[in-house]
Amino acid sequence: MLRNKRKIIAIIISIAILLAVIATIIIIIVINNSRNQSENNNIEEISLDTEKLEIDFQQPFSNEETEYVKTRTEIERAELGKYDVKIFVPEIVSEMEVATKINEEIYMLIASIVNEALNVEKYSEYNVEYTSFMNNNILSLVIRFTIKEEDNPRRIIIKTYNYDIESDRKINLLDITNEEQRNKIEESIMKKIEEENKMAEQIISQGYSAYIRDKEDEIYKIENATEFFIGNDNILYMVYAYGNQEYTDEMDLIMYKL
């Protein structure tokens, strides 16, 4: 009888040890998977060559027509000593309600700039170009206005439109990002502003002028972001073109892999 009890106890102990070993193995696997996932996410974020992406964005836009975007009007005029205008007016290829409203908004905005160029007293150069991207039924249309009026600094204005071609609606940041992503993007925005201000302060200390960002400005709150687009490889671009409000070509780009 005693021998049987000892066998039962030994079996129970063996089973308990086996279960403990299995549990330990499971915990190790879960931890390693979590670490690997975290490392992969970090690698994905770090792997973005932001310097190259910024340089690429500064290059001339293609004005390329696609299945979803076409050139509505092309204007090229010049009068010696007065103006030089080269403008491509894009249009979303859709007759749906929201797309039509976007197209009219774009047309009226560019028309007002053309009229301003033709009526300005001093020599002016106006250039309007566009590019577009398609990601998961979301069309991103980016329009760049480059303006140089004789005595004023060069001014760059960026307008973006993000449109769901299936549901006929405009897309905002809340539609394409979750809370964790928005927090990371906001951290990147603040880091970028601090870096740019640090460089600007160094330039100013040497007796030159430089653009200082107000990091307390409401525009840097992600819920107030108006200019953004999804580019190639599903990369989100946050665009802070200060020329949208002032005569400057200063601009900050924040990129995030969605």
Going by C-alpha positions, the residue among 255, 249, 250, 212 that lies closest to residue 230 is: 255
- How many CB atoms neighbour CB 240 within 10 A? 23
> CA–CA separation, 138 vs 128, rounded Å?
23
> Phi and psi of 38, rounded to 5°?
-65, -45
> Phi and psi of 146, rounded to 5°?
-115, 120
* Tokens at 144, concatenated: 């760049």
> CA–CA separation, 114 vs 249, rounded Å?
19
Going by C-alpha positions, the residue among 133, 223, 221 that lies closest to residue 177 is: 223
Cβ distance 213 to 250 under 8 Å? no
Please say if the pLDDT value at position 235 is more than 50.
yes
The pTM (predicted TM-score) of the whole model is: 0.81
Please say if the pLDDT value at position 32 is more than 70.
no
Partners of 130 in the β-ladder: 143
pLDDT digits (tens, 9 = 90+) for 84-137: 999 999 999 999 999 999 999 999 999 987 787 777 788 899 999 999 999 999
State the average pLDDT for the chain: 87
- How many CB atoms neighbour CB 22 within 10 A? 10
- How many CB atoms neighbour CB 166 within 10 A? 10
- How many CB atoms neighbour CB 85 within 10 A? 19
Cβ distance 83 to 123 under 8 Å? yes
Amino acid at 23: A
Hey, where are the domains in the chain?
Answer: 52-257
Which CATH fold topology does 52-257 show?
Answer: Heat Shock Protein 90 (3.30.565)
Percent of the chain beyond pLDDT 70?
A: 82
Going by C-alpha positions, the residue among 184, 122, 174 that lies closest to residue 147 is: 122
- How many CB atoms neighbour CB 61 within 10 A? 17
